[in-house]
Each structure stands twice: as C-alpha cells, then as structure tokens.
Chain A
Amino acid sequence: MSKSYDAIVIGGGHNGLINAAYLARAGKKVLVLERRHLVGGAAVTEEIFPGFKFSEFSYVVSLLRPEIIRELELPKHGLEILPLPSTFTPLENGDYIAFWDDHEETRKEIYRHSPRDADAYDEYGRLMYHIAKAVRPILSMIPGDPTSLSPRDLKSLLQLGRHMQNLGEERFYDLYKLMTSSSADYLDEWFETDGLKGTKAASGIIGTFLGPRSPGTAYVLLHHYMGEIDGAFRAWGFAKGGTGGISEALANAARAQGAEIRCNAPVAHILVKNGRAVGVALDNGDELYANTIVSSLDPKRTFLKLIAEQELPSDFVHDIRRYKTRGSSGKVNLALDGLPKFTAMADAVRMSALRGAISISPSVEHLERAYDDAKYGNFSRRPYMDMIIPSLIDPGMAPPGKHVASIFVQYAPYTLNGGWNPSTSSGQASPREAFGDAVINTLAEFAPNIKDIILYRQVLTPWDVEQITGLTEGNIFAGELALHQLFFLRPSPQWANYRTPVKNLYQCGSGTHPGGGIMGAGGRLAAMEILKHGAG
C-alpha cells in the first residue's frame, strides 16, 4: 500500500465528512475511512424492517451551520430539511399544551393555561433571542485559551468579549444565570404552568446525565433560540430520507470536491513516528500514510484506543480519562400499522400535532423522577420521551398508509445495574426488552392504541449505540454538553483548538467545540485550523 494522501480522516460521521469536504475543497488529497458499511456514524437511515426506514439514532437536525450548507452547496447535493413545526405535550390530567410555529397560536395556547405565562413567554423569547444572538458567533469560532497570551488566543477572546459587550448589562446578568442555574430554577423565575416548564426543561437535559434540577442545565435552553436566528435555513428540522439523508448529501459534497470515501475500513490504530502522526493501520493490517491525520471519533476512542499511551503526555491522558461520556439515553424505533391516538389530542389539532414533536414531559417532576431512577443505575420506569412520526413529514419513510415512529428516551444509563447484556441463560426478559416495555407502557398512558399498531420494535440502549456507532458509552454528543466540557475545555484545556499533543494529528468530532447535534461546526473549524497551520 504505497498510495499516499495529504489527509486521512478517521470516521465517516457528519463531522468527518464535512472536514474531508473542506480539505478537499482546498485542493488536498483526502481519504475518509469508515468502519461500517455506510457513512453517517450516528446520522444514518437504515431499513431495519422491510419497507420501513428508521433514522436509527440521531433523528432531527439541530443547528446544522448555515455557512456549511452554503459553502458546501448541500442543497445541490441532495440536502432537504423539512419543517418540524410544533411540539405537543400531553398532560397527566388529560389536557395538553402545544407550541406551534405561529407565534399567536402558541400565545393563545399558553394563555389557555395561564394569561401571565402567555405574556412571560413573549418576554422570555425576546431575551433568549438577544442572548442567543450574542452567543451564537461562538459556534463558528475556534476557541481561544484564556490562560494563554499568544496573539491568536487573545484575538479570539477579544472577539468573544466584543459580542458579550453588545448584550448590555441586564442581559449579561441573565446570561450568567443561564450558565449557572438549573433549568427548573431558571424557568421557575418566569413561568407557572408545569407542562410548559416540563417541556422547556426537557431540552436542557437531552444527552446529559443531569436532571432538570441540576445546575448547568439552563444553558441549553438557549440553543433552541440559536436555531431560530437561522430559521430560514431550517437549521432545525427533519431531513428528507431521514437523518441519513444529511450524511448522503455530505458524502456527495465531499466526493464532488474529490475526496475518497472508503467504507468497511475500520482503523486499528494511528501510526505515530517521533511524536508525529504519519498514517493509520487498518484492522486488516493495511497501512495508509498521510501528512495529516484527523480523527472524527470521540476523544476517548481517539486517544485511549487508537494511540499508544506512551505517545501522549500523561496529564492529557488523565484529562481524557476524566472527560465525561456517560450515556444516558436510548432510542426506540417503531414500525406502525397506523397512527397513534393520543387521548389528549382534540380532533382539531390532531393531524398538525402528529406532524410535529410529541414530548412526554408533562411536568418538571416527571423528568426529575425519571432522573432519580437513573442516578442509582436503573432505566427510568416512566421516562422522558421525544417522539416524532417521520412518515407524516416524508411519506417515503414507510409504505403507503403505514408509519414509522422515532422515540428518543431518557434516561437509560450506560452503566445499568446488572449490565445491559447479561447472559441470556437467566430466562428473564433481557434488560433491553424490559426497557422497551417501560417506554411503550409509558407511551400507552397517553396513546392507548400504541400497543395494537406496533408491527416491529427496535430498542437501542446506550450499550447498543456504542456497539454500532462506536460512540463511547453511547453518549450521543461524543461527550456530555456540560459547562465544564464546553468551549476552551472541550475536550481538554489547551487542546480545544482541534490540535492534539501529537503533531499532525487533529480532532474534528462532536467531542470538540462546539459539540454535537449535527451542527458540523467541529468538522469545518478543524479544517480551517489544518489549512492554516497544518503540515499540508
């Protein structure tokens, strides 16, 4: 194997593909190596049950950076993002609360529950919008190290300071509160309707191993408003053909720029010579060489599995070991014979509600209790769920008249008491199926017909997610999105600028700034860094 590349990208997930596309666009000879038979990583669509397409893991696009859509001309390469216009939350008392894409309709709905909250919702929305606007540029910025005096770090911090200055004093105080509060506490300052608080708080716990009353969860509330700023790009929505549609478009874009993508090519380890990364060895023994090696895998997998420990500084290895990747969520995908009937859905809103997200978050307490189970090593008996029915948005996802449902479930701790995969000889129902039952039973409280219409059920635990996608502990963000793991601390202080202690080895996955959610910013920013400072 003498063929040599300018860059080899390990992992064909969305960040790996984006990174490769940008490097190829700059004229580099790039090879992407993907372990599985298809690209996408956790952003894949697979026909698990004949005729039914599942967005197996990641199921909505949140915040895919508009500059990436534009610069890589993704619409030309097949990207279509369809609107996901509403969120519907059935409540314990048989009523519901819904958030529609029309502002006045949402206001009217909240007013029904609390006239005070209806006013507060507007005010809250304005505040979030302005703070999000100030914070948003961070998503497109290579993090500077605040302890460093190097000109580039200072410049980046200065930029950041300028954005913060635009906020004005009062909004800055609120930003500080958002950074430090729990989402429950922060929402309590604004609202009194429990269903409203439950649904808003839910967005703050996704992918974390925290409850709505844990400090640090309020910050994530902001993310939704960042999506609103880029509303026209539909940064928030459902990809045609499922989430795999995004990966396909990215792969097409990368190939169009000349990148080579090889599937079924698992990397065994990164070849390091004299402190420099020089290539990779595949599982089959082949060795491939390049001037630059980029890993889009999560930091633990990159640094603890693919590189010999002696090649890395010990404090860095300690940091990466302590980097938190606790998996906390699972996924249940259903093939359905018909549509679920939620008892809370009045006829007038039924179809529009089914086309949006359905959130099982009737109260903050529901979420916190779900977390209580997980804290002590169990899956939630009555979990929080975020359900969408992709076949109502894109009819191509299921045969005519049939449907698929995608249910994100939290909490399902990676380290389950007794483990997810005990020996099957015990005769008991496997923990995976027991978890699946808890999900369906909870859903049946709100949509009793669900059990009668299931044609096929796929239950994915964090353990499964790790097995299939390679994400350590099945953490959907390749490392928790907690404040202590964001910006210049992601994944490790001093190494948040996409570089690593090994020369010519870069990282570009969701484990780097600014994190997951199919934003793609890590892939792009790492490419910028490589093109500016890399070995070429």
Chain B
Amino acid sequence: MLQGTPFHPRTAALCQGRNWRRWSKYVVAGSYELSPEREYWAIRNSAALLDVTPLYKYLFSGRDAARVVNRIVTRNVEKCAVHQVMYTPWCNEHGQVLDDGTVARLDENVFRVTSADPNYRWFCENAYGFDVHLQDVSDTTAALALQGPLSREILKQSADANLDALGYFRLTPARLRNIRVTISRTGYTGDLGYEIWCEAQDALALWDTLMEVGDAYGITPTGILALDMARIEAGLILIDKENFVGKRALVQEKQRGFEWQFMGLDVEWESLEEIYARKGLHPQLPMTAWRASTPLYVENKQVGYASSGVWSPLLKKYIALAHLRKPHFEPGYWVDMEVTVEHERQTARARVVKLPFLELERKRK
C-alpha cells in the first residue's frame, strides 16, 4: 500500500474529494475540493500550500561534492553560490534527459538535489572514486511549497529570516516559530513562491503554523491538479557549461541544428468553436491538465506531439506544451492539434509560441 507523507494526518482530514493521486511511493491530494479551480486561483491570487514531500531528495556532502554534482547535471554548479539553488536537467552519455530537479547548495560542500524519479544508483555510479558522501534523505526530509503573491507575507509573519532580501532561486536557513527549516525561493508554479524543508518529525508543527498564520492571507491547501495547471502556464528552461555527462552528444546535436524543440501552443479559439459547432456543441475545454501524447500535424503530416495541455483560467486561452520537429518549431508557425469531438478525431489550429506562457514580474521581484 502506498504511504502518506508526514503531513498526511492533516491533509487527509482536509481532502473532501478523497481525490488521492500517487506521487512516487506516496499518495498526495489531487485536489482538496472537488474541483481544483479555487486551489489554482490561490496559486495566482493569494497563497497555496502544497505537500511536495514525495520529491526524491539526495544529500551530497564532502570535499568533492561540488565536483560530483557538476559532473552529473548539465548546468554549471561551480557558479552556484552557497545558499543558491539551480534548476537543471541531467542526461546519459547520449545526451538524453534522464530527469530534472533542483540543486541547492546548502553549504560550501553540501548539496541537496531533488528529482522526480529515483536517482540514487545513477548518482552513486557517477560519484564513484570521489570524496563524497551520498545520502537518500527522501523519507527524512519533509517539504511544503507555499506559492502565490501573498506567500512572502505569510513567511514574514512566521519566520525569523529576512525574506525581503531572499532573491529568486536563493535559500536561507530559518526558524519558523521553533522549527528549524530551510526556506528556498523556488517552486513549480511560475509565481512568487517558496519551498520549506524540514525534518519529517517537525512536519505537522510546520503545517499547523503556516495554516494558522496564513489564515488572514487566504492560505489554501492545494493539490497537484492545480499545480499541474500552473506548471503548464509557467513552461521550462535549459543552459550550457564545461563538461558533464552527455555533453558531447548535446554539442553534436547543437551543431547539426536541433531536430526537436520544446515550444508552447496557443490553440485558436475560432477553430475550436468551429469543430464543436459542427456537432451542435460549444467548445468543451480541459479544465484540468491532460497529459496524453497528442499528435500535431502540418498539412496532414505529423510534425510532433503535444505532451500536456490545459485551459488557462488566467490567460483565458487553451494552451499546450509541444515537442516539434524542425522546421515547425518557429514561433508564429501554425500546426493542427488533434482534438476529439463527440468520439471523432478533428483538428484545431494552434499557433507555436515561445515559453513560458506566463512571465510574472512578482516571481523574481
């Protein structure tokens, strides 16, 4: 049986919809209410509290910690200052992405790496022969994300750290009431937000404190369905550096010109309206994110696929993330996305756009 996170006694009591989703070996709330809409708006409008404990968490410590992490990930960790966080993917020798996550430099020789999938073996293999101690702290570290425009106010009311001075992708040790935590200004929402890391045994006290202080700021326990919507709006990134696993392959691909690109799609309303009108319907829009691979065509020839999409309540647009083949990934190009209307396959026109869909000033400010 899948297990609850250290926050489970609190989240279970709040999860009205009994809408549990699995995330690694845990279950977490999909949405606390029957619809994720209010939780989505908490991310964009007040403050959303998410249990992100199921992330895999690894601690690298020792003299060679920086060298090892740098060898693994694609971004240059030498440039990562103490108390800085970097988002990065990592690859195999063929330059294929294995996973992505954050690298947090807790101290000169201590890094915490988070990931979506288990990476202990891969990390160990790459650490072989170095002076580094690698620890899987997934179970002993609990984590909450507090995301949204009022998240800073809530932390300022409850933590002893100088939150105004904490820059984007920086972290600080702090005491929240009497709980020892690390607060990082990170998250997967593209909004102003923080992640708060603590020992698993302090999890409930942390939850209670944030809920109590956050009440006046509209704090809203939020599930991963709303996070998935915000994540699509926020898009993704990638950069270069000295040497790392898979670099040669990536450099070669860059020289050839990329075969594929990761882009955004803006699905045209008029064409949605038209394909639904043929069946006497109004456009049926995905009010939660979908993640089924969906073919994209140009003149009836497949040129790529969309990997997820959602109706953005904020942008009031149907948006999707797409992998497109050369040369169809240029911004401004049009593709046809498959849409099933009344059991029949149709296509709607979609414009290729740069990511992210949403760039909020408050995220960095």
Q: How far is the CA of A395 from the CA of B37 in the complex (A)?
A: 17
A395 touches which of B46, B280, B285, B311 (Cβ 8 Å) = B46
From B57-65, B95-103, B178-186, B312-320, the one touching the partner chain is B312-320
Please name the residue on chain B nearest to A394 by beta carbon.
Answer: B45
Task: Contact check, A234 vs B34: say whether CB atoms are below 8 A apart.
Answer: no
Please name the residue on chain A nearest to B33 by beta carbon.
Answer: A352
Q: Does A459 sit within 8 A of B, measured CB to CB?
A: no
CB 8 Å contact bits of B268-288 with A (1 = contact, 0 = none): 010000000000101101010
Q: How far is the CA of A233 from the CA of B280 in the complex (A)?
A: 19
B153 touches which of A101, A229, A400 (Cβ 8 Å) = A400
Q: Does B83 sit within 8 A of A, measured CB to CB?
A: no
Name the A residues within 8 Å of B313 (CB-CB): 232, 234
Task: Contact check, A392 vs B38: say whether CB atoms are below 8 A apart.
Answer: no
Q: Does B217 sit within 8 A of A, measured CB to CB?
A: yes
Name the A residues within 8 Å of B217 (CB-CB): 395, 400
- Interface residues in A74-121 by Cβ distance below 8 A to B read 74-75, 80, 82-83, 85, 101-102, 105
Q: How far is the CA of A395 from the CA of B153 in the complex (A)?
A: 12
Task: Contact check, B285 vs A401: say whether CB atoms are below 8 A apart.
Answer: no
Q: Choose among B41, B215, B316 the residue with the greatest number of A CB atoms under 10 Å from its CB.
A: B316
A83 touches which of B41, B153, B283, B315 (Cβ 8 Å) = B41
CB 8 Å contact bits of A161-179 with B (1 = contact, 0 = none): 0000010000000000000
Task: Contact check, B316 vs A400: say whether CB atoms are below 8 A apart.
Answer: no
Q: How far is the CA of A119 from the CA of B259 in the complex (A)?
A: 56
Name the A residues within 8 Å of B37 (CB-CB): 83, 85, 101
Q: How far is the CB of B66 from chain A (nearest CB, A)?
A: 42
Please name the residue on chain A nearest to B46 by beta carbon.
Answer: A395
Please name the residue on chain B nearest to A398 by beta carbon.
Answer: B216
- Interface residues in A192-242 by Cβ distance below 8 A to B read 229-230, 232-234, 240
Q: How far is the CA of A229 from the CA of B277 in the complex (A)?
A: 13
Given contacts A75-B316, A80-B45, A400-B153, contact A102 B35 (CB under 8 A): yes
Name the B residues within 8 Å of A400 (CB-CB): 153, 216-217
Q: How far is the CA of A233 from the CA of B287 in the complex (A)?
A: 11
Task: Contact check, B45 vs A105: say whether CB atoms are below 8 A apart.
Answer: no
Task: Contact check, B316 vs A82: say whether CB atoms are below 8 A apart.
Answer: no
Task: Contact check, A82 vs B45: say whether CB atoms are below 8 A apart.
Answer: yes
Name the B residues within 8 Å of A166 (CB-CB): 280
Q: Does B167 sit within 8 A of A, measured CB to CB?
A: no
Q: How far is the CB of A116 from chain B (nearest CB, A)?
A: 25
Q: Does B150 sit within 8 A of A, measured CB to CB?
A: yes
- Interface residues in A40-78 by Cβ distance below 8 A to B read 66, 69-70, 74-75
Q: Does A133 sit within 8 A of B, measured CB to CB?
A: yes
Task: Contact check, A232 vs B287: say whether CB atoms are below 8 A apart.
Answer: yes
Q: Does B152 sit within 8 A of A, measured CB to CB?
A: no
- Interface residues in B254-299 by Cβ distance below 8 A to A read 269, 280, 282-283, 285, 287
Task: Contact check, A392 vs B218: say whether CB atoms are below 8 A apart.
Answer: yes
Name the B residues within 8 Å of A83 (CB-CB): 37-38, 41
Please name the residue on chain A nearest to B213 by beta carbon.
Answer: A400
Q: How far is the CB of A404 from chain B (nearest CB, A)?
A: 13
Q: How far is the CB of A362 from chain B (nearest CB, A)?
A: 27
Please name the residue on chain A nearest to B215 by beta carbon.
Answer: A401
Name the A residues within 8 Å of B314 (CB-CB): 75, 80
Q: How far is the CA of A70 from the CA of B271 in the complex (A)?
A: 14
Name the A residues within 8 Å of B269 (CB-CB): 70
B282 touches which of A229, A240, A392, A395 (Cβ 8 Å) = A229
Q: How far is the CA of A394 from the CA of B217 in the complex (A)?
A: 9
Q: How far is the CB of B292 from chain A (nearest CB, A)?
A: 20
Q: How far is the CB of A130 from chain B (nearest CB, A)?
A: 10
Task: Contact check, B45 vs A240: say whether CB atoms are below 8 A apart.
Answer: yes
B44 touches which of A66, A80, A230, A395 (Cβ 8 Å) = A80
Name the B residues within 8 Å of A101 (CB-CB): 34-35, 37
Name the A residues within 8 Å of B218 (CB-CB): 392, 394-395
Task: Contact check, B216 vs A70: say whether CB atoms are below 8 A apart.
Answer: no
CB 8 Å contact bits of B5-25 with A (1 = contact, 0 = none): 000000000000000000000
Please name the residue on chain B nearest to A232 by beta carbon.
Answer: B285
19 contacts between A and B (CB under 8 A): A69-B316, A75-B314, A75-B316, A80-B44, A80-B45, A85-B38, A101-B34, A102-B35, A133-B282, A232-B283, A232-B287, A232-B311, A232-B316, A233-B316, A234-B316, A395-B45, A395-B46, A400-B153, A401-B215
Query: Which 6 A-B residue pairs are closest in the complex by CB-CB distance?
Result: A400-B216, A401-B216, A395-B218, A102-B34, A232-B285, A75-B316
Binding site for B on A (CB under 8 A): 66, 69-70, 74-75, 80, 82-83, 85, 101-102, 105, 133, 166, 229-230, 232-234, 240, 352, 355, 392, 394-395, 400-401
